[in-house]
Amino acid sequence: MNEDYLPLAYLNAREYCPRRFYLEYVLGEMSDNEHIILGRHIHRNINEEGTLQEGEMLIHQQQWVWSDRLKVAGIIDAVEECDGQLVPVEYKKGKMAQHLNDHFQLCAAALCIEERTGRSLPYGEIFYHTNRRRQTVAFTPQLRQMTEQAIVLAQLASQTIMPAPIDNTKKCLSCSLKEICLPFEVKQLRGSITPETND
Ligand code: SF4
């Protein structure tokens, strides 16, 4: 496997905010906040590689997966195996909703597992810690196509200039990189600079 493969977690970051993806993946910036620390805390019980058995089900935790076709790689929190069916599972700290970035990350992991095992995965699941609910995500042809497009866009984005801050203030206020990104200051400065003075 090539070290240049896009990490699955960064695919999620890019869908959250392209500028965050660039700061983390291209510039190597990192910073913790309460959301990051809580996410780490939630993963404390599932962060060891190994296989557990619950009844008829085998749970393969912290599985390293990759795709040579798509040039992505990463760790999936768990792969449940029952009656010959593999189901990838991700654990997230937030509330259950239609988080497309989470769906892309899960679907990309499924594409990796399919390539590695030659088996077909019809769906995966995301466990949302805040309301302790599992969401089933069907790997439809549309989601597969969108995921592959998101991978290509993330790979291309790493070769361009840093994107501008996003307009979603709520996301910025929750973002661990806001002190590095300075989204409000950058937007204010951009608003005050005319095209002539910006040359
Ligand atoms: S502060 Fe906002 S614009 Fe900056 S990286 Fe975070 S989400 Fe993106």
| 109 CB near ligand 1 (under 6 Å) | no
Q: What is the residue with the minimal CA distance to atom 3 of ligand 1? A: 165
Q: Which of 20-34, 49-63, 111-125, 184-198 is the least confident region?
A: 184-198
Q: What is the pLDDT confidence band of residue 132, given thresholds at 50, 70 and 90?
A: confident
CATH assignment of 6-165?
Answer: 3.90.320.10
Say if residue 104's pLDDT is above 70: yes
Structure tokens at 12: 């999620």
| 13 CB near ligand 1 (under 6 Å) | no
Query: Helices (DSSP H) in 34-168: which residue ranges?
Result: 34-42, 100-117, 141-157
Say if residue 88's pLDDT is above 60: yes
Best mutation site among 10, 15, 20 for ligand 1 pocket (most ligand atoms within 8 Å of CB): 20
* Opening angle at CA 133, ends 141 and 16, nearest 5: 55
Q: Is 38 exposed, middle or buried (0-12, 13-18, 19+ CB in 10 A)?
A: middle
Residue 196 is predicted with a pLDDT of 45
> How far is Cα 31 from Cα 115, in angstroms, rounded to an integer?
34
In this prediction the pTM is 0.82
